[in-house]
Amino acid sequence: MNYKTVIFEKIANNDLVVGIFGLGYVGLPLATSFAQSNVKVIGFDKNPEKVKKVNLGENYIKDINDNDFREVIGNKSLVATDDFSRIKECDAIIICVPTPLDIFKKPDMSYIIIACTEIGKNMKAGTFISLESTTYPTTTENLMLPILEKESGLKQGIDFWLGYSPERVDPGNDTYKTKNTPKVFGAMSEDGIEIGQAIYKKAIQNIHVVSSPRVAEMVKILENTYRLINISLINELALLAGKMDINIWEVIEAAKTKPFGFQAFYPGPGIGGHCIPLDPFYLEYIAKLYDFDLSMIHTAGHINMRMPHYMYMKITSALNKNKKSVNGSKVFFLGVAYKPNIDDERESPALELIDIVANKGALVSYNDPYISKITTHKKVSLNSIELTAKTLSEADVVVITTNHKDYVADFILEHANLVVDLRNVIDSKSEKLYKL
């Protein structure tokens, strides 16, 4: 019996063991989704804290339903471990590790390299492997494949199958979760496509197959580059609109009445999250190898890098009206999450803005109902303070950096001395209101 027959029998009998490599905001929901279909899942993470939490049924990902999580932990469908030798127990391994940029904004592939090395060393023949981390096209074929074949001594397409399927996790999205978000998938061989599709079907409703891993890699980059350049465009237009006495938010609302050919994006103090500020730069990186310059991404990156500095200028202009400098002023930030109603501040432009004003001598405080403490890039550590009439009125300027649903426009405007609203939370005219 060959490996393909074996794995298809296991799939048919629901006798499959799926390993999820990396238990973050992508891996843990996926692991839970598989486990809910009664697939046995082993979650791997090198962080023993995460492993411990998972095994105790402590859910640390907001998008996962707590009851669902407790159930799959309770019935042992999902177990976590930091023991990579257990990789050999798995019939399929799905890699969900981070692909950050380094401080010079170059792709940091170390997590993928470590994952592939561990998997190559430990996997058994007949394993299906898929990468979900966002990365530049050709990563699966040119970076992963050689490591896996070298470390394992096995041959792709014969002894194991390799593919790529980008995660499409949208934190805070109440409609589209892991299970009902269509999944794009490409593999290096026909068998790999068949097997991968059958496996992913256990956890995800719709699989869209493409002809190669590099096409699937490009899909994810296109999706997020689309967002990057549109946010950049509207940020740039917002700055011009401010100079022309045009309310950009009103413009966007009106443009949305066009029933075809338009999708609304909103300006803000910069771009945040784990995808949009990063993904396009993977592509820009690999493009150099092809002597190609991605001018749209480059320009968009330039605009967004400058946004926090423009927002700093907005704050200084507002304070200037009251004859105050940033140096010595009390600046109270509302919201540090990178988007509304979520508990994640990594890559948030608010952190950068806090660093800028703190560095200029401001006395900084913040409120975020979802994030109780932060440490900025420049190691400013703060605890969230309460949002009250008193905390608002004590600040020289209140800066709205995230449009959490908890923020009540009238209350803020009533009690603050000066408001810089970077998220269109307050839709009224006032002498003390400055808007992006």
Q: Which residues bind a copy of itself (CB under 8 A)?
A: 137-138, 168, 170, 173, 175-176, 181-182, 184, 206, 208, 210-212, 214-216, 218-219, 222-223, 225-227, 229-230, 232-234, 236-237, 239-241, 243-248, 250-252, 254-255, 257-263, 283, 286-287, 290, 292, 294-296, 298-300, 302-303
Q: How far is the CB of 174 from a copy of itself (least distance, A)?
A: 11
Q: How far is the CB of 281 from a copy of itself (least distance, A)?
A: 14
C-beta of 79 vs 237, nearer to a copy of itself? 237
83's tokens: 């023991």
C-beta of 415 vs 435, nearer to a copy of itself? 435
C-beta of 90 vs 241, nearer to a copy of itself? 241
C-beta of 52 vs 302, nearer to a copy of itself? 302
C-beta of 93 vs 300, nearer to a copy of itself? 300
Q: How far is the CB of 379 from a copy of itself (least distance, A)?
A: 32
Q: Angle 295-321/349-359 helices, nearest 10 degrees?
A: 50
Q: How far is the CB of 160 from a copy of itself (least distance, A)?
A: 24
C-beta of 263 vs 327, nearer to a copy of itself? 263
Q: Are strands 183-187 and 160-164 parallel, antiparallel or unpaired?
A: antiparallel
CA-to-CA distance for 289 and 38, rounded, in angstroms? 44
Place of tokens 């803020």: 412
CA-to-CA distance for 308 and 19, rounded, in angstroms? 40
Q: How far is the CB of 222 from a copy of itself (least distance, A)?
A: 5
Phi, psi of 141 (to 5 degrees): -75, -40
**Measured distance between the N- and C-terminal CA atoms of the chain, rounded to whole angstroms:** 65
HSE value, Cβ hemisphere, 13 Å, CA-based, for 311: 32
Q: How far is the CB of 211 from a copy of itself (least distance, A)?
A: 6
382: part of which helix (H) or strand (E)? Answer: strand 381-383
Q: How far is the CB of 383 from a copy of itself (least distance, A)?
A: 33
Catalytic site residue 275? yes
The sign of the CA dihedral 16, 22, 27, 28 is positive
DSSP H helix total and E strand total for the chain: 14, 15
Of 218, 370, 352, 334, the residue nearest 272 (C-alpha): 352
Environment class of residue 274 by beta-carbon count within 10 Å: exposed (0-12), middle (13-18) or buried (19+)? Answer: buried
C-beta of 263 vs 388, nearer to a copy of itself? 263
How is 305-345 classified by DSSP, letter by letter?
HHHHHHHHHHHHHHHHHTT--STT-EEEEE--SSSTT-S--
Residue in 90, 96, 116, 275 annotated catalytic: 275
Is 281 in a helix, a strand, or coil?
helix
160: part of which helix (H) or strand (E)? Answer: strand 160-164
Q: Which residues are catalytic?
A: 275
